[in-house]
A and B are shown apart, each in its own frame.
Chain A
């Protein structure tokens, strides 16, 4: 799998975690102190799968219908990472777009077949 596709499938999955932007805080309190750059994760995602990280970045997209995912811009241009929560656990507001977020969660790798990837992309487009 090439790096670009792998990066696309690297997801920061927020479970027992928290994030905040501006003065708003969501979920449970942050536990990590040391931040990991998104670009460092995306450079070698396999090293981070299953690990808990604290990342910071600008929120560039939010799930409009359910607020169940968002995308965080990397510290380097042309990169982003997907952030997901269990539906309903935290609801990301659309007003968060363009704001800085500090969030904690676990890195997951999701593997798709070509058909599953197309289906997933269609599902996201519908949202």
Chain B
């Protein structure tokens, strides 16, 4: 075995071990945010509607109105704030629930939000929300992936290596994005 290939394998193996955890995080989040048009990758949002009696103008802004509405819809969470975004709407903010009351009709809309624990954390890191030192960690990870990709090409010699079957598979891997670029970017 050529001496440099031995070291290439050692480095590929050890960097691969270190990169495994981060690769899993980026892969999970990659799938999650890839489908952002179809679902929310960070939150599970549930919407409910219910009906209460319309709110008389004389009650708007009065003490006890908020609690009365919450009692009617069975919401027991702690109220964060109450806002009137327009003259016919009242918004009650409860922990993990936003309640919109249409004052004139009595229609109540609830939007309950739950964090997608696990996936949200992977998105947090993948999309570099924390910034700061994590930017450097992510950059080093990207360089490590580049090394793994290139070193992987030269790990094996002979017919299965880059001079044989490996060349065809590598060409296929390059061709796939090129075809999509031609079809979706240049021709679309």
Contact = CB atoms under 8 A, between A and B. Distances in A.
Contacts, number: 49
Contact of B83 (A64, A73, A91): A73
A77 to B, nearest CB: 5
A78 B86 contact: yes
B148 interface: no
B81 A98 contact: yes
Tell me the interface secondary structure of chain B in the complex: strand
A65 B129 contact: no
Interface stretch (B10-18, B66-74, B91-99, B179-187): B91-99
A66 B124 CA distance: 11
CB-CB nearest 9 A-B residue pairs: A98-B93, A98-B80, A77-B84, A73-B83, A58-B81, A98-B81, A91-B129, A78-B86, A94-B113
Given A78-B85, A80-B85, A98 B43 contact: no
Interface of A: 58, 60, 64-67, 73, 77-78, 80, 88, 91, 94-95, 97-100
A17 to B, nearest CB: 14
A65 B113 CA distance: 12
For chain B, give the interface size range. Answer: 20 to 34
A99 B81 contact: yes
A77 B3 CA distance: 75
A88 B128 contact: yes
A66 B42 CA distance: 9
